[in-house]
Amino acid sequence: MTLTDRVALITGGARGIGRATALALAADGAHVAVNYRAGQEAAAAVVKEIENLGGTAAAIQADVSVPDEAASLVERTMRELGGLHVLVNNAGITRDGLIFDLDIDDAWLVMKVNFGGVLNCTRAAIGHFMAQRDGSIVNVSSVMAEAGWTGESCYTASKAAINAFTMSSAVEFARFGVRVNAVLPGFTPTDLVGSLLARDKGKALLRQIPMRTFADVDQVAKVIAFVAGPGASYMTGALIRVDGGFGGQLGIGRIG
């Protein structure tokens, strides 16, 4: 168990990749803070599952897009679980739509939650990490940040901002023993990508993925857990795709 007695905070930890990450980190021995904004019952269920497996966890409510709430989230995590060593910035939303039709308030909300949450939680935790000269931050981005996709302009822009922030913060914090990396999931069946899979159960999309399968949330979570842990001790500023080869091809990688 590589994270024994270390404390991890996962934002948006009640469902999807966040839930799977909370369970993966707990399986590696971490005490886990499961952040949620509105899904109290789902967060409590994750905590119960971790406790039933012999782990320690706490559900903590906060809207990470609000700086004061992000700061309170970090403070409560340290108070309730006895410290903080790993921060997984996972919380995110999307508002799909063509640029011409976008509601400007929706567009800024996506940026405020997705990138703002990363910024706010990083700023809230970094003083503690620097003081203890130990910390690992994993930002959950997306393979969509590296290319265009119709109807996803705000989401992709927010994730591209996360990538740039990851690299800059990695450079700033390295001298304090703090690592910052990003994991870029491909198409993973969660609430966020449901609209992309609804039309034909994702068959057209599957044909564009070299491995011909969608990612499972557990597959993504295991990569996050590795990057967060001591096995990745010389990794910082890295953008790691977990996408079945989707981002490594030109176009859709074949003719016809």
Catalytic residue ranges = 155
List, edge to edge, every strand of the sheet that includes 31-36. 57-61, 31-36, 7-10, 86-89, 135-140, 178-185, 239-242
Q: Are strands 31-36 and 135-140 parallel, antiparallel or unpaired?
A: unpaired
- Note the helical H segments in the chain: 16-27, 40-52, 67-81, 104-132, 153-173, 194-198, 203-206, 217-228
Q: Which residues contact 140 (CB under 8 A, 6 or more apart)?
A: 17, 18, 88, 89, 90, 92, 182, 183, 185, 224
Q: Quick check: 191 and 16 in contact, CB under 8 A? A: yes
Q: What is the DSSP letter of 215?
A: P
Number of H-type helices and E-type strands within the chain: 8, 7
The Cα 228–Cα 251 span in angstroms is: 32
